[in-house]
Amino acid sequence: MVGAEFNSSERDPPPRCHPGTRLSIVQSIRDWLQDLNRLKNFLWLQGAAGVGKSAIIQTLAESESKPDRVVATLFFSTLNGRNDPNRVLTTLAYQLAVQDPSYQAYVVELMSRDPRSLDKAMGEQFRKLFIEPFTQRGIGGGSTPWIVMLDGLDECRPLDTRSQAEASWERVQCEIIKLINTFVLEHPSVPLLWIISSRPESYLRAFFSRTDIHAAHWEVEVPIDSDEACQDVERYLRSGFEDIRKQYPYHIPPASPWPCEEHISMIARSALGHFAFAATVTRFVEDPDIGDPIAQLEHILTFIDHSHTRCFPANVSLFMVVCNILNIEQNRAYSALQKLHAVLKILWRMRIGYTQA
């Protein structure tokens, strides 16, 4: 899949952890990657939409990509067409082959013996591309483990329109998990580490909770409204507003306390630890097409104050912010979204608060 790599131009600029944020989570995963005595070779990073899972995976991929370490990444994206389950394993294998001559030679030999070997079922692909080379050929047997990262597994969905039922998506995603799980259980000494990130969808949580699956993986949750998450979002907001001040030196007097502490706290409380909410606010305020950050911030503050977004989950608050930014009426917003149930879960009975211009 084109654009799946962490350093692909199609994802430039990619989401990264803002300096000084998500420090404990990133460090704990780095410690696991470097631990020669680790007990599990499989990590599930889970968290709600907008909490920064992709940024964490991106940050890890960049820091772990070194001359002596092979790293393969796949950033799923339904919006950008990076979600074909039939190309998951071949995409990862391509990246491994580019980085390691011995694995590349193995793939070339495999293709010469059976040019259609990569068109097989997912289980057979996994056997050919991972089990055989790493357990029978001794590839990747150095002291530094190889790392495979899959971000946004919940977006991996069959492209065949006849297979669009949610049950089909669930089976495919769970099959990928099971293949990896079985591999790390049966071959714990193989220096190949796996990281999967996803939302904690009920079917994924249920699958990861199975006794045979739970025993093989380490789970890390990206918290939403923990003290650290809220502090990280506030730090992000402060940095974002400081950048806006520099971008508009003639609009905002250097000595003025803009935004004031009360306003920063108000926005941070509404974000509830969601970076997506905070990022949407800062992008709206700095909008170069408007060119008036002071007025834009006032719009945000008025909306937050009048709509009582703190009563809603942050992802709902984000939807409300976008509707108000675009001046979309509730019925029109739902009319537009009703065709997107394949990628959105719409709360039809939710009441949206609107502000006056």
pLDDT tens, residue by residue, 159-201: 654 445 556 888 999 999 999 999 999 999 999 999 999 999 9
User: Is the C-alpha dihedral spanning 333, 338, 341, 342 positive or negative?
Assistant: negative
Work out whether strand 146-151 and strand 71-75 pair parallel, antiparallel, or are unpaired: parallel
Specify whether the CB–CB gap between 3 and 84 falls below 8 A: no
| Model pLDDT, residue 243 | 94
Specify whether the CB–CB gap between 317 and 266 falls below 8 A: no
Beta pairing partners, 45:
197, 220
Strand order in the sheet with 192-198: 71-75, 146-151, 192-198, 42-46, 218-221
| Residue 134: burial class (beta carbons within 10 Å; 0-12, 13-18, 19+) | buried
| Model pLDDT, residue 118 | 86
- Reduced 3-state DSSP string for the chain: CCCCCCCCHHHCCCCCCCCCCCHHHHHHHHHHHHCCCCCCCEEEEECCCCCCHHHHHHHHHHHHCCCCCCEEEEECECCCCECCHHHHHHHHHHHHHHHCHHHHHHHHHHHHHCCCHHHCCHHHHHHHHHHHHHHHCCCCCCCCCEEEEEECHHHCCCCCHHHCCHHHHHHHHHHHHHHHHHHHHHCCCCCEEEEEEECCCHHHHHHHCCHHHHCCCEEEECCCCCHHHHHHHHHHHHHHHHHHHHHCCCCCCCCCCCCCHHHHHHHHHHHCCCHHHHHHHHHHHHCCCCCCHHHHHHHHHHHHHHHCHHHCCHHHHHHHHHHHHCCCCHHHHHHHHHHHCCCCCCCCCCCCCCCCC
Q: Write out the two tokens for 12.
A: 């430039």
In 10 A of CB 170, how many CB atoms? 18
Specify whether the CB–CB gap between 268 and 309 falls below 8 A: no
Q: In this structure, what are the phi and psi dihedrals at residue 193, rounded to the nearest 5 degrees? A: -105, 140
C-alpha 36/C-alpha 113 separation (Å) is 36
Domains of the chain (ranges; CATH) run 9-221 (3.40.50.300), 227-340 (no CATH)
| Model pLDDT, residue 330 | 47
Cα distances (angstroms) measured from residue 113 to each of 106, 108, 109, 118: 11, 9, 6, 12
In sequence order, which residues have a C-beta less than 8 Å from that of residue 147 and are 6 or more positions away? Answer: 33, 64, 69, 70, 71, 72, 192, 193, 194, 195
Please list the ranges in the chain whose pLDDT falls under 50: 161-163, 309-314, 316, 329-331, 334-335, 338-357
Specify whether the CB–CB gap between 69 and 26 falls below 8 A: no
